[in-house]
Every structure is written in C-alpha cells, then in structure tokens.
A and B are shown apart, each in its own frame.
Chain A
C-alpha cells in the first residue's frame, strides 16, 4: 500500500522541473511553464499553532475548513472564494452553506476531503480530532492547525490564517477594527461592579464554560465575573445546588437550536425558578457566536457587555 504516494508525486514533479531547466534555448518557455505549474506545490515550511511543522503552498487556492469558526475567518478576510469545502455546521455567512460539505467536525469524510483536491486543510484543536490530523498527514495533505482560547488568540488566528493564505495584508484593517471595538468595551466597563455570571452551555445536566475557554474570556472582558472560574476542565458540570450557593446575578444562554425552548420554560423549571437571577428576570439569550472563535466573537462581547452593563440612553458614556 502506498502511504507515500503523494511524496513520490512530489519527487516526480521536481524531476520534471529540473529536467526542463536543463534544456536550453527555445525551451526556456517550457521551463517557465513548468515553474508556473508547480507554483502551488509545497513551497514553504511553517509551524502551525499546535507546534506541527507543515509544508504549505506559497499561496493556497483550494482550502477546506474543518470548523465553522475557520470558515467565518476565511470569509471575513474576503477569501471565501478559495474555500472548496467546509463542514455541515458552517452556516455563516450564508454562502458557506452552499459549499460542498465534508461532514461533521469530529468525523469528516476523508475521501470527500481528498476528492475536493485541497492544497491546504485548516482545522482547530478545539473542534477536530487528533485522529483526523493523523489521517490527513498519512495521506500527505497539508493541515494547518489553529487554536484559540480567548479573544487575543482569536485575533492572532485571524492574522495567522491571512498570512498562511499568502495575504498577510488583508487582516490588518480587520484586526485593527476588532481590537478597537474590544478596547472600547473594556474601557466602558472598567471600574464598574462586576455582576456574577452563569453561562449555560447545556441545561440538563447543567454544563458551563471553564476558565480556559473563550466564553470565560468574553464574560471577563465584558465586565462580568464568571461563577465557574475555579472549576477544572473546559466544560465542567455544575450542580444546581452549587449554582444556588454561588448566586449568579445574570444567567446567559447561547441562542442555539438545542435551546429552542423559550426563556419562559427555564423560569418554570424546578430549581431554576429559585435562582435570584431568574426571579429578577436576569436570564438572557446571547448570540451563539460566543461559542465561535471568529470575528463575530467581538459581536458577542459587545452583546454581553450591553447585558451586563446596559448603556443608559441619555448617559454620557457614549455608544458601545
């Protein structure tokens, strides 16, 4: 079995190139054509965010995104037309839904990926499995791995994707404006009393976001204090009793299909209705982009900040 077929193809390509170079005179054009043909062959070695050394083309043109956050980043950079495939869950922008899908994040179809002839696959530590990375490596498909656990790392991912795609300059404006918006929120909420926040990832059983997640970072920067800051793991379970003891001032839920029931239903649940935040009506849906380390994470930050620290209409603090 040829686990090394792609490598042998590369070698053949190189021979073809050298061979064309030897021929002089009228074949210079041929050599040039060969050069153009191999311009997208592996041209540089980079270290991805997970520390893997990976050979990627100078200017990748056929991308497969293995996570909705990556798809959003690629589109936000204006490079959406380079995507040849994404996952079943890539739903933003709407155009992303029309790209060929390679399956779900945890078990994408390898053969579908191969058939789309990508010159670069983009994945994340948070969404994808190590086994997928190993399999793509075995098949000789370059995979650039990203990881983002907070807003700063999300901005870094955006810069990284744009430089990996050979268009480092396109991220500058985007990142600068996102950073300005983050700064504005932080400035507005600084010095204010921090309400205690419970973020509900899942309700039965109650699962919340751990301290090392971008959700926790968004809450902190929006001027809140997550009640799960001392818990272990990224998605810890939390007993309702413990929630009662920790007395959150505000409860946030992502607006996802899993929570199709209205806030009213939550208010009626036993245990929940005893929570002060529920009695006081401080139970809010926030955009599900809070679950995605992409440019829209900043939208979620502004949304959470507006919930935790409402802007008074006549206030002198200025717009968020």
Chain B
C-alpha cells in the first residue's frame, strides 16, 4: 500500500478522489461530438445559457449520462470489492464470474416477455445475478472449502454457458430488438432516463452503505471462514448479506447499462495498491475510483470516433483484461 492508513490520510485521499471525480466530470461535460466552450458549459449548468440547444446537450444528454457512469462505476467496483473479500480471491469480478451474464440474461428474458416484465427488468436482472452467483459458489466449493481456481473456472464456464443461452434468446427476439440488445450487451450508458436515475441513485447508495456496514466483518473474513467464526463473526449471516448486496449492485448496473466488464477487477486492485486491505477505507475508495474510471472510459467511448460511439464495455475490457492476466500470473506465483 502506498498510503499509511491514518485517519487523516484516508480522509485526504477520499477528498482527493472526490475532487478528481468532480474535475473529470466537468471535463466530460465539456467534451463530446458537439464542441462547446467552458463558458458555454458553465452557463448551461447554471441555467443562464441563452442557447436552448446548448442547455439541452449539457443538462439533458451529457449530465445524466455522466451521473449514470458514476452510479454504475461505483456499483460494479464495490460489488467486485465485496466479491473478492467474500470469495477470498483477487480474481473475483461480477463479469469474470458470470454474474453479469446472469443479470443480462434476466434483463433479456424480461425484454422478450415484454409488457410488465419489461418494466421489472432490474428486478429480474437482480434475480439472474443472485441465481448465477449461488450456482457459481456451489460449483466452486470443494469439500466445504472455496477453491480459488475451481471458482474462477466455474465462473468462466457459467459465463460462456449463459452467453450461449443469451444468443439463443436473441434469435427468438425480433430483428429490431436483437440489434438494440446486442448493442446494450456490449455496455451502453447512452440510454438513460430520469426515472432510471431516480431509482438507481438510492438503490446503489443503499447497496454500498449495506456493504460498508459489513466492512469490519469482511476484513475478518479475509482470514478464512473458521478464523472469522472464532473471532465472533456470524459467518453465514455476513456471507448471505454480502451475496445479496453484491448481486443487487451487479443486477442494478447491468439492467441499465449492459455487461460492462473488468471494472470490478481493475478498481479494487488499484484501490488495494493505494490503501491496502481494510474494507472501511477500501470500499469508499473503490466507489469513488470506480465512478472516476467509468466516467473516463465513457468519455473516451463517446469522443474517440465521434459522432459515432464505441461500446464502453470495449474500453473497460481493454484496460481491465491485462490487469486480470497480471493478477492471474502473480497469484499463480
């Protein structure tokens, strides 16, 4: 770890991350297919812009998208941090373990059924995430112990199995829905509504706060289940809660933005390099860091080939997959 974990240092770091997020957010607000000056962006934000179009671009297109990136980035990174502690495996990530695919399958099935099920897509994505997580956990457990590689393999196989089912369901959808869905699957933050932001914000905050509640228990859990039990942690209760909370965060993120990969791997890793393994500081660091990384990635995604756009999932995978390989080699030792 780079930073000595004194209370003052941690607060300073979180403030610095918050400030960086605000700066990057402002930068992202001023970048896009349409060139706007800082003063135009400022006027639009303050509501003093005389130009209706500029105001619309800044306040109704860029701002909601950046807010969505903040929420999804924080949700996926915190979910990854929680999973890594729960499974005692630095390679755990909602995407690698197939949990994102489970949530995506849930969301696609909801779309296929349509009507009321379509509206309940976040809830169904959550169920898909919980079911996949349970399945992978059971597969990865050998003689009552979690085997690191078995778990990762179980996740990877489950992810590819679920992808096959997704492809199958896609052939059942009308060609119009297929194109839209395939797009969304690669990770897409462009299609956000105010209503989505309104439920996403409290739900993500609740999920993060819930995991933070168990931060100390997660620290103890890192020592192993038996050791944690000896130290007075109610292991089954903590594990169940962390399961549900990480599934909730993953399901929420996937239902609005598709499967954005590797964020839950990349960010906790960077976070641990900065502040170490204490989840009381690691969780908020991961939340802010994840928001920062996803806002950056999405800004790249929508500016590199403007006015066309890259899928944001491609940008995060480009950055995240090498980190996965690095971690894999290091843990193999």
Contact = CB atoms under 8 A, between A and B. Distances in A.
Given A129-B183, A235-B175, A112 B33 contact: yes
Interface in A102-155: 102-104, 106-112, 114-115, 117, 125-126, 129-131, 134-135, 138-139
Interface in A1-38: 1-3, 5-6, 9
A271 interface: no
B194 A3 contact: yes
Nearest to B35: A115
Contacts of B194: 1, 3, 138
A109 B60 contact: no
Contacts of B191: 131, 134-135
Contacts of A281: none
Contacts of A102: 307
A111 B34 contact: yes
A109 B306 contact: yes
B183 A106 contact: yes
B63 A126 contact: no
What interface size band does chain A fall in?
Answer: 20 to 34
Contacts of A138: 60, 193-194
Contacts of B180: 106, 129-131
Given A134-B191, A139-B60, A117 B53 contact: yes
B56 interface: yes
Interface string B46-87: 000000110111011111100000000000000000000000
A103 B197 CA distance: 26
B32 interface: yes
Interface in B138-197: 171, 175-177, 179-180, 183-184, 188, 190-191, 193-194, 197
Nearest to A108: B307
Contacts of A2: 59-60
Contacts of A1: 59-60, 63-64, 194, 197
A104 B307 CA distance: 8
What interface size band does chain B fall in?
Answer: 20 to 34
Interface string B282-325: 00000000000000000000100011110000000000000000
A88 interface: yes
A233 B171 contact: yes
Given A1-B60, A104-B308, A131-B184, A9 B52 contact: yes
Nearest to B311: A107
B176 A88 contact: no
Nearest to A213: B175
B308 A129 contact: no
Contact of A103 (B61, B175, B309): B309
A196 interface: no
B309 A115 contact: no
Nearest to A232: B171
Given A115-B53, A233-B171, A139 B309 contact: no
Interface string A45-75: 0000000000000000000000000000000
A234 interface: yes
B190 A111 contact: no
A117 B34 CA distance: 12
A231 B136 CA distance: 37
A296 interface: no
B32 A111 contact: yes
Interface pairs A-B: 9 shortest CB-CB: A109-B307, A131-B191, A103-B307, A109-B33, A129-B180, A234-B175, A111-B57, A115-B34, A3-B194
Interface of A: 1-3, 5-6, 9, 88, 101-104, 106-112, 114-115, 117, 125-126, 129-131, 134-135, 138-139, 233-235
